[in-house]
Amino acid sequence: MRKLDLEGWEVGLHGSFYSYNDYDLLKREKQELERVLSKKVVGIRQHNLNLSVPETWRIHESLGFEYDTTLGSNHYIGFRWGTCFPFYPIDHEQRRFIRVLQIPLIIEDIALFRYKDPWKKFLEVVNKVKKYGGVLTILWHHSVFNNLEFPSWADMYERMIMYCKKEGAWITNGYEISRWWKMRINSINKFLNNIFN
């Protein structure tokens, strides 16, 4: 992890199976990762995409996470909440926005390979994301790069990335998306303040 961090890769927290609804457990996990990296950790994705709305998001917010990429599906690819855009969720009980940017997960490797023709399904989804100018978040587990157990999965990942690059996609990490989204919101707010003030 230190080597990845030193080479400029982002290291986020992959919360353990039950941490999605356990503040103390997730706090310990975040502190341990921050101790190892000697820096603040700002991104998270919960194991198995475990999520309890809005409780998990409240925990993430209280622990200082800036973004979360948990919002996706293990069973299908596409738009779990009907969007490919990052957003700040509304906490209806507390009548406020939760200040943890949700970057929806669009494609998970296991879900993609449930389809008869994974490449065709990928093209269908990526072209829809491109049409709307959205974010295509991909979850590819490290274990599936083992060609003996998962033949062609590594090739599919490389093929997807090359296709996106060819189409002009910005290939980046969650932190950079979060940073860009905040700058975008600040620009919009500044523009609106100038109009109405």
The pTM is what? 0.92
pLDDT of residue 187: 87
CB within 8 Å of 166: residues ≥ 6 apart: none
2-196: in CATH 3.20.20.140? no
Q: ω into residue 54 within 30 of 0, thus cis?
A: yes
| pLDDT tens, position by position, 38-54 | 999 999 999 999 999 99
Q: What is the CA radius of gyration of the chain?
A: 18
pLDDT of residue 19: 98
At 35, is the pLDDT very low, low, confident or very high (cuts 50, 70, 90)?
A: very high
Alpha helices in 73-136 (DSSP H): 109-112, 118-132
| pLDDT tens, position by position, 111-162 | 999 999 999 999 999 999 999 999 999 999 999 999 999 999 999 999 999 9
Give the 3-state secondary structure of residue 151.
coil
